[in-house]
Amino acid sequence: MFTHQTDNHVYFVQSLERIQEILNLSNKFEIRNLLLSLFVISWVSIANMSLKVLKFFLFKKWGSSKGEFKNVVVYTVGIVGDNVVMLPALAALRRRYKQAKITVITNCQIWDRQGAIGVLEPSVYKDSLIVLNEDPVQRRGLRLWVDGTKFEETQCDLFVNLSPFGNRGRIGAVVREMIFAKKLGAKHAIGFRMSTYSRKGIFNKVQYRFVKNEPRRSREILKELGLKPVENEDLLPHDEAAKESILKKINRDGRDNRPIIVINPGAKFESKCWPPEYFAETAKWIYQEYHSNVIVTGTAPEKEIAERIVRSSGDFVTNLAGRTTIQELIELLRISRSCVTNDTGTMHIAAMVKTRTVGIFSARYSPSHWLPKGSNIISIFSLPECRDCYKEQCDTVECLKSVRVENVVKALDKMFIDKDESYNG
């Protein structure tokens, strides 16, 4: 397993265990942090005990691991990456409960719902999809209210909660999710568990010890059903029309046999974005070293960033930001030789379809939180003093600027050599 540290304190890792080891070694022992950790442990224990008591009164106590269910509801929160990493759990439920109707309810909150629809609508592992733009349980004064008109045709014997709010320490949100399951008529329900304490600020430096890795978190949840997520498989649908469309967009006419390498410079938050000029330098290197067809991807709001990269790199890069559907992006990554991306949904799609990928992580929170699964991914991060800031915007992004272009291209070289596919032109 490739692990490397550079002189400028940049780490290259492929395993969650190695990241956790690095984090533990890099943090100085402080009595204050020890006391904060003990508080979180105590709080989580009390919170989970309280949730167990509530679950005892709301749902049936026994038989969920051996039962046969006619109607299963899977609840998620998020858009692209959040729903991609949920697919292994969804596939396991589909294969176990072959005759059940599986309904996925996903809450996109304030984000563009098209990402979630693009991931989930074509999936063969569900029968029905409901997309929300707000929490299903709303507070009205002292009363919690569910808009029943949105769920009139939704029946539920088993409710599987894959929402990340318990992993973020938001006990109020988890209680509302439990109430939502009850309102849907669920007889059995799983996935209501706290991992940490939600208050940011003084607890930032110890959160990495408690927050679970999202791509692997469903392993713990499905244990309640005696199941394991379906991992190490490409669970995203294949679409020949989308593949043909993306080939046309990158001007493949049968004569261009250059390998395709994707770079994805955007992310949900600015504090997760490697500088565009670094991406431009990387694109130049890829083009010169691998004689590749370099494609920039991203959402419509990221067009400007992508265009800056095209101009700075010498106009040989193809800009597809805002010009692909989710399915076209999936097919593009399937036919690509490699991908260089920030920590975002594109990274998790690349992991799922087994494209060799370099994922660049900020240190706004622990890189262990979203480290993807798969042997074809090298994750790069630095650990400056200002790490664990939890900022959505940052003027300096020191943690990302510490990751140099030479670090990224070294990771690409290492990946290609390991796979015996270094390109000689």
Which pLDDT value is given to residue 423? 33
Q: What are the distances in angstroms from CA 90 to CA 15, 101, 120, 326?
A: 24, 12, 10, 19
Q: Identify whether 365 is part of a domain.
A: yes
Which pLDDT value is given to residue 421? 46
**Look-up of token digits 């304190």:** 9
Confidence of residue 416 (pLDDT cuts 50, 70, 90): confident
Domain that holds residue 136: 31-225
Q: Identify whether 9 is part of a domain.
A: no
Q: What is the CATH number of the domain that holds 131?
A: 3.40.50
Phi, psi torsion values for 199, nearest 5 degrees: -65, 125
Residue 317: name the closest of 274, 264, 254 by CA.
Answer: 264
Q: Please state which of the ranges 98-112, 164-178, 246-260 shows the lowest mean pLDDT.
A: 246-260
Which pLDDT value is given to residue 374? 86
Is the pLDDT score of 1 beyond 60?
Answer: no
Say whether both 293 and 327 belong to one domain: yes
Confidence of residue 424 (pLDDT cuts 50, 70, 90): very low
Residue 168: name the closest of 82, 89, 103 by CA.
Answer: 82
Confidence of residue 252 (pLDDT cuts 50, 70, 90): low
SS3 annotation, 267-319: CCCHHHCCCHHHHHHHHHHHHHHHCCEEEECCCHHHHHHHHHHHHHHCCCCEE
Say whether both 185 and 251 belong to one domain: no
CA quadruple 224, 170, 230, 131: dihedral sign? positive
- Mean pLDDT across the stretch 301-323? 90
- Mean pLDDT across the stretch 307-321? 88
Which pLDDT value is given to residue 130? 96
Say whether both 209 and 279 belong to one domain: no
User: How confident is the model over 147-173, as pLDDT tens digits?
Assistant: 878 898 999 999 999 999 999 999 999
Say whether both 214 and 328 belong to one domain: no
Q: Identify whether 116 is part of a domain.
A: yes
Please give the helix or strand (H or E) that residue 143 lies within, else none.
strand 143-146
Residue 127 token pair: 């029968």
Is the pLDDT score of 418 beyond 70?
Answer: no
Say whether both 35 and 176 belong to one domain: yes
Q: Identify whether 4 is part of a domain.
A: no
Q: Identify whether 315 is part of a domain.
A: yes
Q: Which amino acid is at 202?
A: I
Q: Identify whether 23 is part of a domain.
A: no
- Mean pLDDT across the stretch 36-52? 97
Confidence of residue 422 (pLDDT cuts 50, 70, 90): very low
Q: Identify whether 192 is part of a domain.
A: yes
Confidence of residue 125 (pLDDT cuts 50, 70, 90): very high
- Mean pLDDT across the stretch 204-229? 95
Q: Identify whether 16 is part of a domain.
A: no
Residue 199: name the closest of 231, 171, 219 by CA.
Answer: 171
Is the pLDDT score of 3 beyond 60?
Answer: no
Q: Please state which of the ranges 243-257, 371-385, 396-410 shows the lowest mean pLDDT.
A: 243-257
Q: What distance in Å separates the CA atoms of residue 319 and residue 321, rounded to the nearest whole number?
A: 6
Pairing between β-strand 4-5 and β-strand 10-13 as defined by DSSP bridges:
antiparallel
Q: What distance in Å separates the CA atoms of residue 228 and residue 89, rounded to the nearest whole number?
A: 7
Query: CA triplet 373, 238, 301: central angle to 5 degrees?
Result: 70
**In the chain, pLDDT over 70 holds for what percent of residues?**
94
Residue 172 token pair: 């109020």
Is the pLDDT score of 258 beyond 60?
Answer: yes
- Contact of 344 with 268, CB cutoff 8 Å: yes
Q: What is the CATH number of the domain that holds 247?
A: 3.40.50.2000
The count of domains in the chain is 2
> 170, 204, 225: which is the final residue of a domain?
225
Is the pLDDT score of 13 beyond 80?
Answer: yes
292 contact partners, CB below 8 Å, separation of at least 6: 258, 259, 260, 261, 286, 337, 423
**Helix, strand, coil content of the chain in percent (nearest 5):** 40, 15, 40
Say whether both 115 and 167 belong to one domain: yes
Is the pLDDT score of 55 beyond 90?
Answer: yes
Query: Radius of gyration over alpha carbons of the chain, in Å?
Result: 22
Is the pLDDT score of 26 beyond 90?
Answer: no
